[in-house]
Structure 1
Amino acid sequence: MDALEILSDLENVFPYFQPIFSADEQQVIAYEVLGRYRTEDNIISLGPFFKDDQIPDEYKFEVDLLLVKKALEKAFDLENDISIFLNRNAELLMYGHGEPFLQELLAFEKKGFNLSRIVLEISDRNYRGDLDQFDHLLQYYRTYGIKIAISSIDSESHHFERIGQLEPDILKINLEALKSTATGVNFNDVLFTLSLLARKIGATLLFENIEMSYQLQFAWKNGGRYYQGFYLYPPEAEFIQRDFLKHRLKEKFHDFISYEKRKLEGVYLATEYFHVKVQEIVMKNKKVGYEELFQAVVKEMDQIAFRMYICDEDGFQKSANFFNGKNGWVIQSEYMNKNWSWRPYFLENIIKMRNERKGILSDLYCDIETGENIRTFSYPMNENEYLFIDISYQYLFEHDQLL
């Protein structure tokens, strides 16, 4: 892209706006500003212009500031609670120590534009400058009510520490990774960690690059409050009616909710089924040893379980593992006295079982040893003995409501 051609033809530089929709209101709550350039034959994206390291920062800043001016002038036509997302990499934000950009925003504030409507969508992945100065600048902007979003988080993200340091208002998650089956499991793990982190720091999850219905469902299921992508609406030069997708989104959410209810009902029924079955086995085998109890469970659940063991209420394993390997069921004595209280939700589930006297079916998780997705059914045998039965992936696959 010829930078000088663009700089000498700034009249044909203008913003496009891609709407961002909310889950709670099913309407437009923001627009992301994207740069466009009109050639003789076409309208092209200015993305390559801003990403080209050969183009001087002062050129990029001039074009970007023009886009900001045109975008904010147009944004006066919007309702006052609609936000404007402005993309900023660290180099561009630090240009002139961030002061020229801020002065432009303050000029709009004097005209009546509330700066709390501005969301800076930043990326500092390849920034070689002083991160402390960069962070101080962001905090300075925040004193004016400007919000911060960290952009394009995907399955390759390794900057959780930076997220914790910046404590952004919004985490923007790129759903491009969902197109690849190779990154699917890894992406789910990253997303789970991000959702926990977002909850801790009070950030909102925004999912971008939604191009298909299943991606919207994924975003909804995984705690996304805001959504953006071509499946919802492409970038255009004009704004759209806030309620443009309200009816469609309500229908979609209804479908998602119905599907999720069916799955939850399936998990509930499976939990009840395992509880009744295991309770009956335990009651019939009260006076036998651990190995005899495991043998009794295998008779009833050979096609369901692949591992079982017994722990006390502090998580210390009182039995060996009874494991279904390649050559059938075997005893793994090396697991005796190991402690599992460090596992997430372990003690919480022990207390729940102890008080409610009912078994618990865990959520879906990846088994450390087999690498497969499994669930564990836990049952309170008495006040200090808890039976754990790991359910095989094959069984879950055959009962897909459990996956």
Structure 2
Amino acid sequence: MIEGQPLPYYQPLIDTATGRVAGYEALARLRRDDGEVVSAGPLFSDPEVDQTELLHLDRDVRRMALEHFQATPTGFIALNISPKWLTQISLEAPLPSLMLLEELGLPPERVVFEISGLEGDPDRLRQVVTRYKSAGIRVAVDDFGTGYSMLDQVIALQPDFLKLDIQLLHQATRENSNSSDFVKSLALVAEKSGCWIIAEGVETEEHLHFALDCGARYVQGFLFGAAEDNFLQPDALQPLFSHLRDQYVQAKLAERGRFLDLRKSLAQLFAELRIWLEQGGKPEALRPPTEYPWLLRFFLCDAYGTQISPNYEWTGQRWRQDPRYLDHNWSWRPYFYRILAAAGEDSRVLLSGRYRDASSNRQCMTSGLFIDEGRHLLLVDIDVEQLRKLQNAAEE
């Protein structure tokens, strides 16, 4: 038996384009006899709790939230709905939530249904979601990137929003995490499919910076306040968000400055390697890369992307030649055709994005420069983690 008086609490969602409160997520709470208010969330994942009681609890909280929200002139309200219950609804019968909105006179356009977990019959779920969307309600898929959030089902539902899983967001911002690129890829999937990203669980400035890196349109979390039993003025959090956004921009400008310094170092390195090649390219003539501790390897390709030299790698004591990749063609790599497209443009030194190197399993970037009047391409691989450590040490 569920103990306590059900009631809704509301956590604001901040529009990253304006800094204003754009909407709220309604969260189920229980007020116990001693006055303590606790989350009802754990009950919905407890198999011992009677499902009928849970359904009544969910509908009671939903009605109270919508009734309370009626007095709010702007924004939207997001309500969690279990797909297990959605797939049990008769496809011919009126939908209870639509009937409730009609009863209250609340425009469907101001409501977002968050579907957490995509278990159940996917075809029935898609049909119910289609009816919601046809009525004007917007749909979000919660916990995207984990659990039941299968990509094919997400694509089939065509949601308006995707909420990044809170655990993925937190893991991606931990030091030395390998998951940040994965989460950014999920965000890119959302962008390509026409969805807005919502980042929940934003508790620190690092979380916010990463959410902005992912292109999140809305953010929510303890950094802006816990869920409360009332609503805020739309501009209540605007000064705080503007300050945090300015800090993010400054951090990006500092990062840009570090990349400019890296480009200068790369230009110097390329100049030294060109002289070395012109003098015969003998390994014993290479000096230790003392000024370039981030250098992972360098090698030479022809103009068509076929590797024509071994990899040269510094072991800490000597240069090692690795001939395994001779005759491999790298023209399909993104860094190659970016450099190829810039050929002849001031012989610019270009940098690729970060990627995981297959042979060393390290985060890398590749820089390249055409030489010998465009006949050869000199490529340098950079150890991103080592570069980051050096940059952090320089700032301390």
TM-score by length of 1: 0.86
Residues 124-273 of structure 1: pairs in structure 2 closer than 5 A: 124-125=117-118, 127=119, 129-153=120-144, 159-177=150-168, 185-273=177-265
In the TM superposition, residue 267 of structure 1 has moved relative to its aligned partner by: 0.2
What is the aligned-residue identity percentage?
26
Q: Distance in 2 between matches of 1:155 and 1:325?
A: 40
Q: Distance in 1 between matches of 2:148 and 2:393?
A: 30
What code does the residue aligned with 2:224 have?
A: L
Q: Distance in 2 between matches of 1:331 and 1:225?
A: 48
Contact 1:312–1:384 (8 Å) recurs in 2: yes
Q: Distance in 1 between matches of 2:350 and 2:291?
A: 17
User: 28, 43, 51: which one pairs with 1:57?
Assistant: 51
Q: Distance in 1 between matches of 2:70 and 2:104?
A: 10
In the TM superposition, residue 258 of structure 1 has moved relative to its aligned partner by: 0.8
Call closer, same or farther: CA 1:39–1:111 in 2, change over 3 Å: closer
Q: Does 1:43 align with 2:34?
A: no
User: 375, 379, 383: which one pairs with 2:374?
Assistant: 383
Structure 2 residue aligned with 1:20: 13
Q: Distance in 1 between matches of 2:129 and 2:152?
A: 16
Q: Which is further off, 270-279 or 204-213?
A: 270-279
Structure 2 residue aligned with 1:329: 319
Structure 2 residue aligned with 1:9: none
What's the CA shift string for 1:106-128, capped at 9, x where partnerless? Answer: 44246542212221111235x2x
Q: Which is further off, 307-316 or 322-331?
A: 322-331
Call closer, same or farther: CA 1:179–1:145 in 2, change over 3 Å: closer
What code does the residue aligned with 2:209 have?
A: Q
Q: Distance in 1 between matches of 2:305 and 2:222?
A: 49
Secondary structure of 2:29's counterpart equals strand
Secondary structure of 1:97's counterpart equals coil
In the TM superposition, residue 205 of structure 1 has moved relative to its aligned partner by: 1.4
Secondary structure of 2:90's counterpart equals helix
Q: Which is further off, 28-37 or 341-350?
A: 341-350
Count of residues in correspondence between the two structures: 391
Q: Distance in 1 between matches of 2:293 and 2:265?
A: 15
Q: Which is further off, 94-103 or 160-169?
A: 94-103
Contact 1:353–1:360 (8 Å) recurs in 2: no
TM-score by length of 2: 0.88
Q: Distance in 2 between matches of 1:106 and 1:401?
A: 61
Call closer, same or farther: CA 1:345–1:167 in 2, change over 3 Å: farther
Q: Distance in 2 between matches of 1:306 and 1:273?
A: 14
Residues 354-393 of structure 1: pairs in structure 2 closer than 5 A: 354-381=344-371, 382-392=373-383, 393=385
Q: Distance in 1 between matches of 2:214 and 2:251?
A: 14
Q: Distance in 1 between matches of 2:322 and 2:312?
A: 6
Structure 1 segments, 4+ long, off by >6 Å, are 98-101, 155-158
CA RMSD after TM alignment: 3.0
User: 296, 303, 320: which one pairs with 1:306?
Assistant: 296
Q: Distance in 2 between matches of 1:98 and 1:17?
A: 31
Q: Distance in 2 between matches of 1:189 and 1:158?
A: 18
What's the CA shift string for 1:228-271, capped at 9, x where partnerless? Answer: 11221111111011111111111111111111101111102321
Contact 1:311–1:385 (8 Å) recurs in 2: yes
Q: Distance in 1 between matches of 2:394 and 2:365?
A: 8
Structure 2: tracts of 5 or more residues without a match: none
Structure 2 residue aligned with 1:344: 334
What code does the residue aligned with 1:308 have?
A: F
Residues 276-287 of structure 1: pairs in structure 2 closer than 5 A: 276-279=268-271, 281-282=273-274, 284-285=275-276, 287=278
Q: Does 1:88 align with 2:78?
A: no
What's the CA shift string for 1:157-198, capped at 9, x where partnerless? Answer: 873333333332211113435655889624313212112201
In the TM superposition, residue 63 of structure 1 has moved relative to its aligned partner by: 1.9
User: 18, 23, 26: which one pairs with 1:33?
Assistant: 26
What code does the residue aligned with 2:199 have?
A: F
Q: Distance in 1 between matches of 2:327 and 2:149?
A: 36
Q: Distance in 1 between matches of 2:348 and 2:176?
A: 34
Call closer, same or farther: CA 1:108–1:37 in 2, change over 3 Å: same
Q: Distance in 1 between matches of 2:344 and 2:204?
A: 44
What code does the residue aligned with 1:14 have?
A: L
